[in-house]
Amino acid sequence: MGVQVGDIIEGKVTGIKPFGAFVSLPDNKNGLVHISEVSYEFVQDLAAVLEEGQTVSVKVLSIAPDGKIALSIKRTQPAPERGPRPSGPRGAGGPGGPRPGGPRPPRKEAPPRVWQPKPTMPQGDLSFEDMMSRYKTQSEEKIADLKRVTENRRGGGYSRHKG
């Protein structure tokens, strides 16, 4: 009798890793219970929940063509009953109960963001020539920034124009 998908069988934990537990099955086969398939509760450390040599009931989730067997411990147990989902913001008391440290405080509504032009520098008592000189300098800086950005997008200094 071989192991088939959907079977619930007894196995023995042979190794515990940070990502899951290896389980020895009948017919000299081995499978892996991923950490997410150990319990319906969040599991930080598998060694706190399982120990080597422990006999566990597992459900066969899949068998890969290369022979790797995916197992689940939590699917052999009834799912915990959950009350109605809260209608508040996501994560406030979502699946698995309230958040550690209590519920999240309600969000403060931020005022809508409205575009504001940059404040202009005070002109003071500048002559027409000084204002034109400042405008020319700012324009040249903006053009240099624009060239730098477009050259970076093209791959660092590549230009179609020769000259």
- 50-67 b/e (C-beta count within 10 Å ≥ 16 → b): beeeeebebbbbebeeee
Given this model, what pLDDT does residue 33 score? 93
Name the CATH topology of 8-76: OB fold (Dihydrolipoamide Acetyltransferase, E2P) (2.40.50)
Helix (H, G, I), strand (E, B) or coil at 147: helix
Count Cβ atoms below 10 Å from residue 134 Cβ, excluding itself: 13
Give how far Cα 133 sits from Cα of 20, 40, 120, 138, 139, Å: 69, 70, 16, 9, 10
Mark residue 138 as left, alpha or beta (left: phi above 0; alpha: psi -120 to 50; beta: remaining). alpha
Sign of CA dihedral 40, 41, 45, 49: negative
Spatial contact of 68 and 25, defined as CB atoms under 8 Å apart: no
Q: Measured between alpha carbons, how far is 4 from 17 in angstroms, rounded to an integer?
A: 25
Residue identified by tokens 């022979």 is 67
Given this model, what pLDDT does residue 10 score? 93
Helix (H, G, I), strand (E, B) or coil at 144: helix
Q: List the chain pLDDT tens, one digit each, 163 residues.
A: 578 888 899 999 999 999 999 999 988 899 999 999 998 888 888 888 899 999 999 999 999 999 899 999 999 988 777 766 555 555 444 455 555 555 666 666 666 667 676 666 666 778 888 889 988 999 999 998 888 888 877 765 555 555 5
Given this model, what pLDDT does residue 113 score? 67
Residues in the chain, overall count? 163
